[in-house]
Amino acid sequence: MNHSEADIALVEKYFDSELNDAELKNFTMRMESDENFKSLVEQEKVLIAAVRYEGAVSSLKYLEDLEVKLEKETPLRLSSAPTKWYYYAAAAVVGITVVVAVFMNNFRNQPDELFQAYFTPYPNMFEPTTRSSESTDSKRKDAFQAYEQGDYQKAATLFEDLLKDNKEAGIVLLLGNSNLILGNVEEAKANFIALDKDFDELDMQAKWYLSLCYLKSGETEKARAILKELGDTEISYATKARELLDKVK
Amino acid sequence: MNQDEIILKIKSGGQTELGLVYEEYREEFLRWVVKEFNCSLDDGKDIYQLTILIFHDNIRLGKLEHLVSSVKTYLFGIGKNIVKENQRKERRYIPLSKEKWLKENLIDEPTSKIDDAVFERAKNALSKLGQPCQRLIELFYYEKKSIPEITLAMSYKNPETAKNQKCKCMARLRKLFEEETEQNTFAINHESL
């Protein structure tokens, strides 16, 4: 469709925000009464939109390339996916390392003291308590919240209730931790043994905490056997397990 | 650098400045979004990239000139809106196609969606435009650079030359678009025979 040079200039000035009041009035009038002029305006709008779109796509590609570069230089290790719990476990182990470094100067290698130095409750990686969700069962939410707030007695009771309905590895792990903290060492051992045997996940965590249970109850040979097994692997617990094994007499 | 300086830098800069902001808040944003929405790191990265593009768009279009909060808070707010809006529409954290999302959220107006077929023809015409025209009109319409800024960036003799060149490029784009439309009409007629 042919358009006059004057119309094209008017439309360009409109999109470049250069119209004066009289021109704007003319523009508005033409839009209401002239279909040919209106189609020119619509076409210009689409063309400018395409230019903006290609600009945004180009910026997106730039950010995607930058992300690939950054990930290579400084990889981020974070995920809430259940299959990546071991990243958090690794972080917990690093935390334990720091605690150990401070404590090791001040005590002899008695099993219970080693337990105190190496034990850190496993963090709740299984149910974010801050996230609101309509489907979140209140008992479940209360259980994880109690655990996070350090109310291990309440947490243990609620975790046990939850396990009656649904066997979940994460809950067994946290129940074991709660029992261990509460001094219910035998119950904790049973939890970690069940976690190791009955589930396909969190085996290494189960073994690590079971070794700490044995330290707590003074069964050093059993603790050493598990620590040796962990130390022979390449998993995140291995270094810590080897270090602890050296200290358990 | 304070908040307003960051905004000015992005407004007067290009992709490099955008990249600096991306890098600055990346780790904090990704940690937050993964934890807050229980999403994967890859989804988190997609959300962050779209967040940065909206931040950029708001600055370029003059919607954001001063921040009452911090850049971080502003970015987290955008990220949250992207997730919520997308969960409402697609029951996912992030759209399947970021490109489609860009069209729907940065290009289409709330009251008037551009027809996909017409938009495709406009994109085809643009891809045939060639350089330096493509760059020139992108600087003007996407990055919202002024004619004097474009004169400097593209080494034109003076602003008048840059302005004339921009008009010529748009005229050429209109012609290419009309050709695309004609070809499309011909193809449709041919198919219906």
Which tens digit of pLDDT belongs to each residue from B28-55? 999 998 888 877 888 889 999 999 999 9
b/e code B24-42 from CB counts within 10 Å (16+ = b): ebbeebbebbbbbbbbbbe
Look at residues B146, B179, B94, B77 and name the one whose alpha carbon lies nearest to residue A60.
B94
* Extended beta strands in B8-53, E state: none
Which pLDDT belongs to residue B188?
63
Q: Which of A14, A53, A57 to mutate to test the interface with B (most CBs of B within 10 A)?
A: A53
Overall average pLDDT of the A71-78 stretch? 77
A55 lies within 8 A of chain B by CB: yes
Beta-carbon count within 10 A of A191 CB: 29
pLDDT greater than 80 at residue B21: yes
Overall average pLDDT of the B111-123 stretch? 86
C-alpha to C-alpha distance for A24 and A84, rounded to whole angstroms: 60
What residues in B contact A70, CB-CB < 8 Å?
A: 23, 26
The residue to which tokens 């800069």 are assigned: B13
Q: Hey, are the CB atoms on B49 and A67 less than 8 Å from each other?
A: yes
pLDDT greater than 70 at residue B152: yes
Beta-carbon count within 10 A of A235 CB: 18
A80 lies within 8 A of chain B by CB: yes
CA dihedral of residues B106, B112, B117, B121 (deg, nearest 10): -60
pTM of the complete model: 0.57
Which pLDDT belongs to residue A173?
92
CB of A3 within 8 A of CB of A40? yes
Q: Which of B31, B41, B143 has its CB closest to that of A55?
A: B143
pLDDT greater than 80 at residue A129: no
C-alpha to C-alpha distance for B106 and B54, rounded to whole angstroms: 8
A12 lies within 8 A of chain B by CB: yes
Which tens digit of pLDDT belongs to each residue from B88-98? 766 656 665 78
Which pLDDT belongs to residue B8?
83
C-alpha to C-alpha distance for B46 and B41, rounded to whole angstroms: 9
Tokens of B110: 């709330």
Q: Which CATH class is domain A117-247?
A: mainly alpha
CA-CA-CA-CA torsion sign (A160, A162, A164, A169): negative
Which tens digit of pLDDT belongs to each residue from A169-190? 889 999 999 999 888 999 999 9
Q: Which of A55, A62, A63 has its CB closest to that of B138?
A: A55
Which tens digit of pLDDT belongs to each residue from A81-114? 444 555 556 666 665 655 555 444 444 457 888 8
CB of A39 within 8 A of CB of A1? yes
Distance from CA of A50 to the nearest CA of B (A): 6
